[in-house]
Structure 1
Amino acid sequence: MALNMVVMAAGKGTRMKSALPKVLHKLAGKPLLQHVLDTMAPLDCAARIVITGHGAEQVEARAQAQALRFVRQMPQLGTGHAVQQAVPALDAGAPTTLILNGDTPLVRRETAEALVAASAGSKLALLTVVLDDPSGYGRILRDAAGQVLGIKEHKDASEAERQIREGYTGMMAAPTALLTRWLGQLKNDNAQGEYYLTDIVAMAVAEGVEVVATQAGSETEVLGVNDPVQLADLERRFQRQQAETLMRAGVRLMDPARFDLRGTLEAGAEVEIDVGCVFEGRVMLGEGVRIGAHCVIKDAVIQAGAVIHPFTHIDGEAAGVEVGEGALIGPFARLRPGAKLGREVHIGNFVEVKNSSLAAGAKANHLAYLGDATVGERVNYGAGSITANYDGANKHRTVIEADVHIGSNCVLVAPVTIGAGSTIGGGSTIAKDVPAGELWVARARQTKIPGWTRPVKLKK
């Protein structure tokens, strides 16, 4: 049955020491809040509500989810006050309201579903976690039989209460009608002068409404972010989780502590990834692909058997990059959006390819640029050669047909076609089409300058 989902994202995050709203700081390349929204996207929600406050315009502009609604908490007077602002946006017909934190990015959908199931539209269900050091967490108070009696915020807790290891994560599921009524009864007579959402627990107990606690599967999934240290710690925890998932699927990571995934990575059998690599966007690695150390790969498909040598930068963006079977790329190569490389293509050190296709067996091994080019099979593209694809206003295409040999330090001024099997002599600037099978050279005659002597530095 559909439910209300409320995500609290109004806090300033003073300890982040940043003008950026806390929930927009990134974990694995994505804002904290967006992690929560993406994880919960499959839930059947009658209303999806985000409570904003500090930096509301920025947060609302960046948050993305289907049928998302925003309410603002101005000023920020506590968690209870925050949820009060969401009451007019709740769907009264949804029996349960789920409340989540926008700065707790790794909470699992299964955990949220278990919380909703525990509430069952009639109980107040709290998500708790048992920690060795629960400092900062509200403590779960229970009677001798283990029944939940209330939550005591850390700052208001006695020394004895602070010894309790079960902490409240800030997430709950409550009957919508009861939640609405309890929110209207909140008071701010506490150490902070704020309206605590946790005070509704005592109200539920007083009314005889059953309060149940569902424990999180792990500490990591309920950890929030309050400062850069916590963000960095959560980043490494998350990256370790992703690394272990890949390794269990058969990927060989040389060192999982030096691996970063900021998107999705699909990998076939026998894939090897060396240290210091960063994967962004959507990346697919075919069977037997080897990625050398310190590569950055974004939005790319790399087919089976390809080798990406160290320090290569592949950035597909919207157009993507495709690397064919058995291709050899790098070291220190750069593949930009629209690069499409066929089987056994070689792209060597300090070669840049953008919006260009290279057919099977083509090679550009050293210090070259191919932009807006169509390159045929078995082409050899010489060191220092470039396609001059931009006239200052428009881009133009260069076509290099099969079995062409381009000498070193050539400039191909687009639009131009180099016919199949032809050869361009080193140092040539070619601005006209070259017929198939011919040798063309376009450079000044070598000339001796009589009487020339090397300049001598003047003495002062």
Structure 2
Amino acid sequence: MSLNIVVMAAGKGTRMKSSLPKVLHKLAGRSLLQHVLTRTAALDADARIVITGHGAEQVEAAISGPGLRFVRQMPQLGTGHAIQQTVPALVAGGSTLILSGDTPLISTPTTRAMVDACEGRQLVLLTIEYADPTGYGRIVRDGESVKAIVEHKDATPEQRTIRECYTGVMAAPTEALKRWVGQLDNRNAQGEYYLTDIVAMAVAEGVPVVAVRTTDETEVLGVNSPTQLAHLERRFQRQQADALMEAGVRLADPARFDLRGELQCGQDVEIDVNCVFEGAVTLGDGVRIGANCVIRNATIAAGARIHEFTHIDGEAAGASVGEGALIGPFARLRPGAQLGAEVHIGNFVEVKNATLARGAKANHLAYLGDATIGERVNFGAGSITANYDGANKHRTTIGADVHVGSNCVLVAPVTLGDGATIGGGSTITKDVAAGQLAVARGRQTVISGWTRPTKKK
């Protein structure tokens, strides 16, 4: 049986007070619309249709996916008018699932239950009971049968006492849906074409109208303002925090935790407060993350310690930290940083596109870019690899057991052999053979009897 998934994403979102279309505002690092599309990806749909309108070009450029099709609603004259625009694009027969692009946390099990209940023959509504249903369309029943949805502005005082509300999600027999939306009119308080009016049409035709109820308010909460977005962000982050803690992760404070991607954790992982994880992050057994760290697209092996205020951003290339390594505080690992076991990267050290073998250390105020560092290297405070000549990047290769003194500049391309020593304050422009000492600095001059200048009175 065929399945269409339609996502309404045409609204302006006036209350967001932003030039960005509402559905592109981000929740946990992903747009609201992308959340909806991701959460329905597991459904075997024959057509996936996104209805755009306000900021259509921006929305369409930002969202992509296999088999995704865009239909524009110009102007925006209500939800029923939006579905009217999709009629030519709907795959015939079967069912059509209709979702809202500003309701991002709808769950896959719920959408699957909606489709299963529809079976191409019933109109299915997702409902929920609210203690305060103000603003929501009310479910009007005759016993167990749903007879109508009445919008809040059109509801009678008696109908406004109903607590069961329509969530904006429905599944309908496709051929009946096409027929019903063609019969809609806009004779109501808003002067819009309400999709909810098809309930009465289904009842008149004898098509069963059933409700799938959810008790999870979070999955049906929509976003209409920055306040609502922030509220939903905290709800979603708490859900993710709870899932991690149930799996054994120790979070110092789940209210101060942000996951904006995918986080895989081994046993006995500890995460302190105010940490942000983005992209794909893997933490091995016994990893400890200090407070105020940002980690993006990285793999951190067992027993590693990431001290406070460390920033790791692997971007597309990724970054990795080996077993038992110590990173930070105030360290920065950039794309292509590949750190071996027991590596030490200390405060205000930056590593980019560099490989450090087991036991290598750069403990203070250093830059290692485009470099290959051997085992047990000690890279002194204030030293850097000068990897850029103004046009091209060049690589520095440092063998095992090399000692680089403080305040040195290694001008790439250059190679330091195993066991070499670089005297502090040196600028190295030529290769240094294994075991050699290289010193490249001006001779110290001492002037006796020199007097410091004084200001004229």
The TM-score by the shorter chain falls in which range?
A: over 0.9
Of residues 400, 413, 416, the one that matches 1:415 is: 413
Contact kept? 2:129, 2:215, Cα under 8 Å: no
Q: Which amino acid aligns with 2:187?
A: D
Aligned AA (1:252): R
Deviation at 1:451, TM superposition (A): 4.8
**Equivalent in the alignment of 2:122:** 123
Give the conservation status (yes or no) of the 8 Å contact 1:7–1:49.
yes
Pick aligned residue for 2:291 from 293, 301, 306:
293
User: 4+ residue stretches of structure 1 with deviation over 3 A?
Assistant: 449-452
Residue 76 of structure 2: SS of its match in structure 1? coil
Number of aligned residue pairs? 457
1:233 aligned counterpart, secondary structure: helix
The answer as to 2:16 corresponding to 1:8 is no
Write out aligned runs for 1:54-453 (5 A): 54-93=54-93, 95-143=94-142, 145-453=143-451
SS at match of 1:49: strand
SS of 1:20's partner is coil
- Per-residue Cα deviation, 1:113-170 (whole angstroms, up to 9, x for no partner): 1011111111100011111112221000112x23111001011112221111111011
Contact 2:419 2:435 in 1 (8 A): yes
Local SS of the residue matching 1:262: strand
Displacement, 1:65? Answer: 1.7
Q: What SS does the corresponding residue of 2:365 show, helix, strand or coil?
A: strand
Q: CA deviation at 1:450?
A: 4.6
Residues 2, 92 of structure 2: 8 Å contact kept: no
Per-residue CA deviation, residues 43-100 of structure 1 (Å, 9 max, x unaligned), is 111110000000000100111221000000000000000010000100114x100000
1:9–1:103 contact (8 Å) kept in structure 2: yes
TM-score by length of 2: 0.99
SS of the counterpart of 2:348? Answer: strand
CA contact (8 A) 2:263 2:280 kept: yes
Paired residue type of 2:255: A
Give the counterpart letter for 1:127 in structure 2: L
SS at the partner of 1:86?
helix
- Equivalents in 2 of 1:334, 1:320: separation in Å? 13
One-letter identity of the residue aligned with 1:379: V
| Unaligned stretches of 5+ residues in structure 2 | none
Moved more, 156-165 or 228-237: 156-165
Normalization by structure 1: what TM-score?
A: 0.98
Distance 2:455 2:112 in 1: 81
Match of 1:53 in 2: 53
Aligned residues with identical type, % of pairs: 75
CA contact (8 A) 1:4 1:90 kept: yes
Gaps of at least 5 residues in structure 1 are: none
Secondary structure at 1:48 match in 2: strand
1 CA distance for matches of 2:239 and 2:53?
Answer: 32
| Cα RMSD, aligned residues only | 0.8
Instruction: Please say if residues 124 and 171 of structure 2, whose CA atoms lie closer than 8 Å, have aligned partners that are also in contact.
Output: yes
**SS of residue matched to 2:299:** strand
Match of residue 456 from structure 1:
454
Alpha-carbon separation, structure 1, partners of 2:455 and 2:176: 91
Query: 1-side partners of 2:63 and 2:83: how far apart?
Result: 18
SS of match in other structure, 2:234? helix
Contact 2:135 2:152 (8 Å CA) reproduced: yes
Q: What is the CA–CA distance in structure 2 between the aligned matches of 1:64 and 1:161, rounded to whole Å?
A: 41
**Pairwise CA distance, 1:217:** 4.2
- Is 1:272–1:290's contact at 8 Å kept on the other side of the alignment? yes
Q: Are the counterparts in 2 of residues 37 and 64 from structure 1 also a CA contact under 8 Å?
A: no
Are the counterparts in 1 of residues 3 and 96 from structure 2 also a CA contact under 8 Å? yes
**3-state SS of 1:356 partner:** strand
